[in-house]
Amino acid sequence: MRRTLLYSAMLATFSTSLAADETSYELPAMLVSATRYAQSDLNIPASISIITRQQILDSGARSLSDVLTGQAGIQVTDLFADGSSSVVDMRGFGPTAAQNTLILVDGRRLNNSSDIGAPELNSVNLDNIEQIEIVHGSAGTLYGNMAVGGVINIITRKPDEFNARLKAGAGSYNGYALQASVSEQLKNGINYRLGARQRKSDNYRDHNDLDFWSLNGRLGYQYAQGEIFAEAQKVSEELQTPGALTKDELKQNRKQVAAPFKNDFQDTTTRIFRLGLDHSLGEDWRSSGELTYRDSDRDFLNSFRAFPGTPATLDRRVYTFNPRLSGRLPSALGDINISSGVDFENTRYDLQSSFGRTLQKQDIWAVYAQGVFELSSQWQATLGLRHAQVNNDVEYFAGQSKDDDSVTAKSAGLSYQATSNIRLFARMDENYRFATADESIITATFRPEDLKTQTGRSWETGLELKQALWNAKILAYQLNLNDEIAFDSSGFANTNLDKTRRRGLLLEGQTSPWKNWKLGGNYNYTDPTITDGAFDGNDIPLVAKHTARLFADSWLTRQLGFNLEGLYKSKRVVGGDFNNSFNKLDSYSVVNLSARYVSGPFRISAKINNLLDKEYEETANTGFDASFSPIVGFFPAPERNFWLTFEYTGHTKPGLNPP
């Protein structure tokens, strides 16, 4: 009944949208992710959703995972609901979502090519974000390794006029946060940004204390032909990890930590340094590139029900270099917008654990080119090609191994702008994912060369309708993969699934029926199926076939506004259960409410999560108890909780005031 009511409300939202007046719809001034350059007026055959800075502010979100939760085509799993252990999933990958959804900050990868560690979403400061661009579907030719289900590119703000900000927040579980930043664009071309953050919380679960802090700085110089800049960031996160609970333990006390996990933790320090250049080569051509160094050190203890864990360390060093060239070429078929470049990534990975020591030296390089053909004022086409190669040298408990591979990916698409308000498109994009070091050594044979490179092909088509007062989107897709890399907990080994298929449908709409009001929502259908081999016909674990979101946002006065949202996620196969033999994880729905008050340079915001105080489990995984009998471990989500924030801004950027 609950699902029926939610779907009925969703259909009502779209009906309201279609009843709105017909006028032009203004697109964002600049879009980066379509070509890896900031460009406007490109009618590319792909669906890209935009989350603006204003939407982030009005949502009351505290972390990047908060912002992404409930967005069309995205499923977020947050183990502890604090953003510290969040995984973002596009197109239904469940346990391996962190390796199949590419997350970028200004084009810099947060994903780890060397190991299965999830991207550090907490390292992203929401106050520095200008907009978030979500590329729905594969982007293997333009972005390469791991861009299988989609790409999320976080575009940060560039310093403009003087801006100083102080923010303090407090809330449930003895949580508090402090933040300060200053930025400015000087008349001599120099610009800078400095910031510091600290956050502490006991969190919902016992033995789940979080202590987080971050320092960041940016120094740039703008000249007539472009800009050169340098960035630095240091992030420290100390987190106690309470582990999973059995069904009986959940009934006894949802907040408790089970005895095997009472000493578990993970402490991580990350340092990032980046140099970049964006230079104009004339009216139609420009070059850019970044050289990045990322250093992550982690001390951790992860225990198992069947046996205790031992302290372990992980040391990861990553160097990347991404020179790019873009421009416009005239041709008989119309102008061609060219995006081309080289991606190089060098990783040194050192893991010392109870399994021994694993050392990996990995080089990934790729060359790519994409052309957007302006066939006419209504028709545009794209063609793309990428060739990539990985070189792996691994030393581990079973000896040494050298595992090299290469892959070529292609893409093609066609977009038709029927009217100024109606657009249709179709595209094909090939994708791939190289196995990480820790995946390749934990196989049934302990031979890295036996784990194949994952490859695939995505087909999708879409219809977008955009007006001044409403917009709507319909997107259908099929993603076929060969040799999908997955972890089979029944054999405690990584393996290749021969063939898998994902089919899906995305519906999204938004309307402004009254002044200063926005109503909208989305519905997503995802069908991830294994189509060959021992698990033929079974569902991929931890993927909800149905997800939905409804929201209402309003400025009740020029100073006071609110945001109300309802989220729904259907049943899921528990993690590791490729046989689909265990009971599914229950569906759930939650309601969140936030409010904001703005007066001059001051802003006060409050948010209540899980307003109706529901008890539910975000995720679950199969495992073994002390007698090595199979069990399911659950990660309970927090009940009703709140957060209150006070903020002072010395300068407000135009467009971020209430209407």
For residue 41, what are the contacts with CB-CB under 8 A and spacing of at least 6? none
- Using a pLDDT cut of 90, give the percent of the chain over it: 73
φ and ψ of 651, to 5 deg: -150, 130
Decide: 479 and 458 in contact? Cβ < 8 Å. Answer: yes
What number is the average pLDDT over the span 126-141?
A: 94
pLDDT beyond 70 at 18? no
pLDDT band for 22, please (50, 70, 90 cuts): very low
The pLDDT, as a whole number, for residue 652 is 52
Alpha-carbon gap, residue 477 to 531, rounded angstroms: 17
φ and ψ of 359, to 5 deg: -120, 130
End-to-end CA distance of the chain: 38
For residue 546, what are the contacts with CB-CB under 8 A and spacing of at least 6? 3, 523, 524, 525, 568, 569, 570
- Provide the b/e sequence for 323-359 (b: ≥16 CB within 10 Å): ebbbbeeeeeeeebbbbbbebebbbebbbebeeeebb
pLDDT beyond 60 at 491? yes
Cα 307 to chain centroid, rounded: 33
pLDDT band for 41, please (50, 70, 90 cuts): low
Decide: 60 and 607 in contact? Cβ < 8 Å. Answer: yes
The closest of 87, 33, 45, 97 to 502, measured between CA atoms, is 97
Decide: 397 and 363 in contact? Cβ < 8 Å. Answer: no
Backbone φ/ψ region at 144: left (φ over 0), alpha (ψ -120 to 50), beta:
left
- Domains of the chain, by residue range, sit at 2-161+271-584
Backbone φ/ψ region at 124: left (φ over 0), alpha (ψ -120 to 50), beta:
beta
Decide: 296 and 270 in contact? Cβ < 8 Å. Answer: yes
Return the structure tokens found at 638: 């927090």
The closest of 232, 203, 228 to 217, measured between CA atoms, is 232
In angstroms and rounded to an integer, the radius of gyration of the C-alpha atoms of the chain is 24
pLDDT band for 444, please (50, 70, 90 cuts): low
The pLDDT, as a whole number, for residue 401 is 84
DSSP string, 560-589: EEEEEEEEEE--BPPBT-TT--SPPBPPEE
pLDDT band for 16, please (50, 70, 90 cuts): very low
The pLDDT, as a whole number, for residue 14 is 37
For residue 186, what are the contacts with CB-CB under 8 A and spacing of at least 6? none
For residue 222, what are the contacts with CB-CB under 8 A and spacing of at least 6? 185, 189, 190, 191
The pLDDT, as a whole number, for residue 87 is 92
For residue 141, what is the enclosing H or E element?
A: helix 140-143
pLDDT beyond 70 at 13? no
Residue 469: strand pairing partners: none
Residue 485: strand pairing partners: 496
For residue 306, what are the contacts with CB-CB under 8 A and spacing of at least 6? 623, 624, 625, 626, 627, 628
Residue 527: strand pairing partners: 503
pLDDT band for 490, please (50, 70, 90 cuts): low
Return the structure tokens found at 635: 């990660």
The closest of 160, 161, 139 to 151, measured between CA atoms, is 139
The closest of 587, 637, 635, 593 to 615, measured between CA atoms, is 637
pLDDT beyond 50 at 568? yes
Decide: 521 and 551 in contact? Cβ < 8 Å. Answer: yes
Q: Is the dihedral of CA 438, 318, 265, 124 positive or negative?
A: negative
The pLDDT, as a whole number, for residue 185 is 93
pLDDT tens, residue by residue, 214-270: 999 999 999 999 999 999 999 999 999 999 999 999 999 999 999 999 999 999 999
pLDDT band for 443, please (50, 70, 90 cuts): confident
pLDDT beyond 50 at 25? no
171: helix, coil or strand?
strand
pLDDT band for 29, please (50, 70, 90 cuts): low
Decide: 13 and 551 in contact? Cβ < 8 Å. Answer: no
pLDDT beyond 60 at 9? no
Backbone φ/ψ region at 173: left (φ over 0), alpha (ψ -120 to 50), beta:
left
pLDDT band for 43, please (50, 70, 90 cuts): confident
Environment class of 598 (CB within 10 Å of its CB; exposed 0-12, middle 13-18, buried 19+):
buried
pLDDT beyond 70 at 70? yes
Return the structure tokens found at 523: 């519905």
pLDDT beyond 80 at 332? no
What is the total residue count of the chain?
Answer: 659
pLDDT beyond 50 at 315? yes
Decide: 184 and 161 in contact? Cβ < 8 Å. Answer: yes
pLDDT band for 28, please (50, 70, 90 cuts): low
The pLDDT, as a whole number, for residue 42 is 65
Environment class of 319 (CB within 10 Å of its CB; exposed 0-12, middle 13-18, buried 19+):
middle
Residue 49's CB is within 10 A of a number of other CB atoms, namely: 20
Return the structure tokens found at 628: 């090595």
The pLDDT, as a whole number, for residue 188 is 94
What number is the average pLDDT over the span 532-538?
A: 91
Computed over every residue of the chain, the mean pLDDT equals: 89
pLDDT beyond 80 at 27? no
Return the structure tokens found at 82: 């604090």
pLDDT band for 26, please (50, 70, 90 cuts): very low
DSSP state of 541: T
Alpha-carbon gap, residue 212 to 235, rounded angstroms: 8
- Angstrom CA distances, 518 to 58, 320, 522, 549, 658, stand at 11, 41, 14, 14, 13
The pLDDT, as a whole number, for residue 160 is 87
The pLDDT, as a whole number, for residue 542 is 95
Q: Of the ranges 302-306, 450-454, 560-564, 603-607, which one carries the lowest mean pLDDT score?
A: 302-306
Q: Is the dihedral of CA 480, 484, 488, 491 positive or negative?
A: positive
Alpha-carbon gap, residue 353 to 319, rounded angstroms: 24
The closest of 55, 244, 246 to 134, measured between CA atoms, is 55
pLDDT band for 322, please (50, 70, 90 cuts): very high
For residue 312, what is the enclosing H or E element?
A: strand 312-321
Alpha-carbon gap, residue 143 to 52, rounded angstroms: 22
What number is the average pLDDT over the span 22-29?
A: 39
Decide: 78 and 86 in contact? Cβ < 8 Å. Answer: yes
Residue 471: strand pairing partners: 466, 510
The closest of 179, 182, 183 to 166, measured between CA atoms, is 179
Residue 177's CB is within 10 A of a number of other CB atoms, namely: 18
pLDDT beyond 50 at 23? no
Tell whether domain 2-161+271-584 is in CATH 2.40.170.20.
yes
> Which residue has tokens 């991404």?
322
The pLDDT, as a whole number, for residue 630 is 86
| Mode of pairing for the β-strands spanning 336-353 and 175-185 | unpaired
